[in-house]
Copies of this chain bind each other. A is one copy, B any other.
Amino acid sequence: MSDTRVKFVLGEQDIPTHWVNLMTDLPGEAPPPLHPATKQPAGPDDLTPLFPLGLIQQEVSTEPQIEIPEQVREIYKLWRPTPLYRARRFERELDTPAHIYYKYEGGSPPGSHKPNTAVAQAYENAAAGINKLTTETGAGQWGSALAFACRLFGLECEVWMVGSSYDQKPYRRSMMEVWGATVHRSPSEVTDAGRSQRVHTTGSLGIAISEAVEVAARSAEVNYSLGSVLNHVLLHQTVIGQEALAQLAIAGEEPEIVIGCVGGGSNFAGLAFPFLRRVIREGAKTRFVAAEPAACPTLTRGVYAYDFGDTVGLTPLMPMYTLGHTFVPPPVHAGGLRYHGDAPLLCGLVKAGLVQPRAYRQNETFEAAVRFARAEGVIPAPEPAHAIRAVIDEAAAAREAGDSRVILFGLCGHGHFDLSAYDAYLSGSLEDPEFSEDDLGKALASLPDAPALA
């Protein structure tokens, strides 16, 4: 009797008890972040004005796994474990012998994987006696996840939303407000940084970060929160991959390829790191594909160098692939992927050849997303549409090779707030922006003076 299951569900008791810390698995010594002024290795003390000790310890931990606090697991129960689907209808649509699985994180209240870390961060800050978190948000996925998490722990939440997104996506702002957050259009009049940048009326992620950091730095009871890039953020997302491992075991399958989209790297890391540990420690044969936008091709066109994490240069210098911190990506709809750098931990894996990056154009990702939606039902966010595009390539390769390779990809969020982009695609008016080679050259030329990376 053939197995016709399409959905592999776990019970609450199967929510992972620990996060996977891949730091300890990496070959060689990881280059440390550097203090932006002294260019000396930045230590935990440099982080205390913005982050609670619990998160700093996770950031620098050398333990192979870190226990998930019981209160965090309690809240994870609201949407975890998330389902793993066998995309049988999409396989037929693609006419492929490949077995395609996707791990769907869009069922969380904010609609993406972001609350996996937002809840963990809100918990540690609340436990440290902090009463407010500040953050920036672009398209709004991260801001709404943090608003949701802060509400659950009784923390205030203040969000600076990039001006152009604030105007274009009023419903993401409303969502944050339903959960009780205060949302500012950035640049705002409530910070020095905002007032100094008021000529840039549409705002930028860099300005919004400066505003959120400024307010957090003003008070010992206020901290700042970041939704990707840092080690502890990637760590928190590893619940995704651990569940997927257990679910694929139920399905009796071994993945040949794991695919995720990459903006700052937390979604990709969350799915891939538990599988990467098996590759590094046990010699498993899985391949890993990181899908990014051709309009912001950090891993495929960037250089591996020390650079600032933000546009205006407030953060420590991080060792990563970067397009240059002054690079401004064209306005593709996958707002979550418009970042000039990537998580140092992920960049190290790309550098080591363990993760293969691929870049896709905006229109081909929407074409992939519509094919997927028409087969499977779920309308993907523009970010995971990049992963779906990569899946189509692998499914075609499987057909040509005549093998039934197992493909796992991360469907990290739904597209309910991105339908104007679908509308543009369906009406043939979606732009397919290329970045300016000239701008890229200038941004790379403005990299800070710092030690070269091997």
Contacts and interface: CB of A to CB of B under 8 A. Distances in A.
Interface of A: 4-7, 9-12, 74, 77-79, 85, 89, 107-109, 111, 148, 151-152, 170-171, 174-175, 177-180, 370, 373-374, 376-379, 416-417, 419-420, 422-423, 426
Nearest to A379: B178
Given A77-B7, A178-B373, A180-B374, A419 B171 contact: yes
Given A178-B370, A370-B178, A379-B178, A171 B4 contact: no
A216 B376 CA distance: 27
B377 A152 contact: yes
6 contacts: A4-B74, A6-B77, A111-B416, A148-B377, A152-B377, A177-B422
Contact of A374 (B179, B419, B423): B179
Nearest to A421: B174
A74 B2 CA distance: 14
Contacts of A180: 374
A180 B379 CA distance: 12
A117 to B, nearest CB: 16
Number of this chain's copies in the assembly equals 2
A79 B104 CA distance: 11
A7 B374 contact: no
A422 B77 contact: no
B377 A178 contact: no
A377 B78 contact: yes
Contacts of A422: 174, 177-178
A414 to B, nearest CB: 8
Contacts of A171: 416, 419-420, 423
A376 B170 CA distance: 23
A14 to B, nearest CB: 10
Given A79-B377, A177-B423, A377-B152, A5 B9 contact: no
A45 to B, nearest CB: 36
A7 B416 contact: no
Nearest to A377: B109
A171 B170 CA distance: 13
Contacts of A77: 5-7
A9 B79 CA distance: 11
A174 B423 contact: yes
A419 B174 contact: yes
A142 B152 CA distance: 33
Given A7-B77, A416-B416, A109 B177 contact: no
Contacts of A6: 12, 74, 77-78
A292 B71 CA distance: 37
A289 B74 CA distance: 31
A78 B177 CA distance: 31
A333 to B, nearest CB: 13
A109 B107 CA distance: 10
